[in-house]
């Protein structure tokens, strides 16, 4: 990235030599990202972040549906456990853009039931045609819960619906394509991610669009093959390409993920043994959630003083999504799962990374236990 700032600083759309050198490193980064996703480089669009990628996928798809038939009211189908980048945008599109938004229910684990997917899709069909767009997370950012995206994708394809997958929490942590699983373009139409979730810089996002999927640009311009205008952020894109290459190498060894999942599980056990009243929000099975995430509720306690107490001792966590953890409101995701407000208010999300060690897990658990005891006092036995 420093070399890009100092050497490849020219506009990659320029025809002069410096501009074409910037274009060369940008396209090398695109190829690295495409290889991580097992797709073709020309199907990758770079944006300013995951939120903009989602906005382009959703707005661009609904605008394309509107162009196809002015009498059709575009329909967006999603869930209340999505990241705010999808959830809030869905509400905004319904209020201001004339789209119709329908919310699929989830179970108490925050997961769509596979046996209901086709019937739910059928129920969303209208006389004007099938749903314009279905938007689903691959893995939840607060609980790590994994959605059955392949089954959803097959049902969408059978019904003629377009599927967008928010893979921000998945890409770089789990393989997008693995033995026994179909290629992305066989079940998905649009996929978005953010490289800063797997070691890249902030300020760059990724949208993959299956060949033939039309999008109306939200930000018109000639850059990014006309899908997203604006001079590309070459240093950030170069960093994203390096992160993609390193993530691909790391993903080649499944033992790393197994090791880290075991560390996460041990962290949970230490807290639950110390506080029998605490509980894990969301699924706990080994194949039901990502290896890096846990969400633990401490009944009758408030998340904010716990976060402050832990932060003073070197443990950084969040209440809900990291980008909204300054809010005092309980997590909308947990409420949508049916978690009682008293539990949602005292729920904390912890994440680990590829470099997390066993000693760090032990140290973090000790800090959390001490913080809960200090903040909770003798209430409900937290001091015991």
Q: Please name every residue paired with 343 in a beta bridge, in sequence order, or none if there are none.
A: none
Sheet containing 205-209, strands listed edge to edge, beginning at the edge strand earlier in sequence: 44-47, 205-209, 190-193, 163-166, 133-137, 75-79, 100-104
| Strand 133-137, strand 75-79: pairing | parallel
Give the residue among 206, 181, 164 at the shortest CA–CA distance from 59.
164
Q: Kindly calculate the radius of gyration of the chain based on its CA atoms and give it in whole angstroms.
A: 22
> From CA 317, how far away is CA 332, in angstroms rounded?
18
DSSP label of 223: T
> From CA 14, how far away is CA 199, in angstroms rounded?
30
323 is catalytic: yes
Contact (CB, 8 A) for 204 and 48? yes
Contact (CB, 8 A) for 337 and 280? no
Write phi, then psi, for 150 (nearest 5 degrees): -70, -40
> From CA 317, how far away is CA 229, in angstroms rounded?
36
Contact (CB, 8 A) for 205 and 192? yes
Q: Check 156, 188, 193, 323 and give the catalytic one.
A: 323
Residues with active-site annotation: 323
């Amino acid at each position: 990235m420093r070399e890009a700032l100092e050497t490849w600083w020219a506009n990659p759309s320029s025809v002069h030599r410096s501009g074409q050198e910037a274009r060369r490193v940008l396209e090398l980064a695109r190829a690295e990202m495409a290889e991580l996703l097992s797709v073709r480089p020309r199907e990758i669009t770079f944006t300013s972040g995951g939120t903009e990628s989602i906005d382009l996928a959703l707005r661009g798809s609904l605008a394309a549906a509107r162009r196809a038939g002015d009498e059709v009211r575009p329909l967006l189908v999603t869930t209340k456990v999505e990241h705010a980048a999808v959830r809030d945008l869905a509400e905004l599109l319904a209020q201001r853009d004339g789209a119709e938004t329908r919310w699929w229910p989830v179970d108490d684990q925050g997961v769509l039931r596979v046996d209901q997917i086709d019937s739910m899709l059928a129920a969303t069909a209208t006389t004007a045609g099938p749903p314009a767009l279905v938007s689903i997370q691959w893995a939840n950012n607060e609980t790590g819960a994994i959605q059955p995206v392949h089954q959803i994708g097959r049902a969408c394809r059978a019904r003629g619906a377009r599927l967008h997958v928010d893979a921000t929490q998945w890409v770089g942590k789990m393989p997008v394509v693995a033995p026994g699983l179909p290629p992305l373009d066989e079940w998905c139409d649009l996929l978005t991610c953010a490289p800063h979730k797997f070691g890249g810089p902030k300020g760059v996002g990724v949208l993959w669009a299956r060949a033939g999927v039309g999008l109306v640009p939200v930000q018109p311009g000639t850059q990014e093959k006309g899908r997203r205008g604006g001079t590309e952020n070459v240093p950030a894109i170069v960093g994203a390409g390096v992160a993609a290459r390193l993530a691909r190498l790391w993903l080649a060894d499944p033992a790393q993920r197994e090791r880290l999942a075991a560390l996460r599980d041990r962290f949970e056990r230490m807290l639950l043994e110390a506080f029998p009243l605490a509980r894990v929000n969301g699924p706990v099975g080994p194949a039901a959630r990502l290896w890096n995430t846990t969400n633990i509720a401490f009944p009758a306690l408030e998340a904010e003083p716990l976060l402050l107490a832990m932060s003073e001792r070197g443990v950084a966590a969040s209440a809900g999504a990291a980008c909204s953890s300054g809010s005092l409101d309980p997590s909308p995701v947990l409420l949508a799962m049916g978690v009682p407000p008293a539990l949602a208010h005292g729920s904390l999300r912890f994440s680990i990374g590829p470099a997390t060690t066993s000693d760090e897990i032990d140290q973090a658990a000790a800090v959390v236990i001490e913080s809960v005891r200090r903040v909770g006092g003798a209430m409900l036995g937290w001091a015991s």
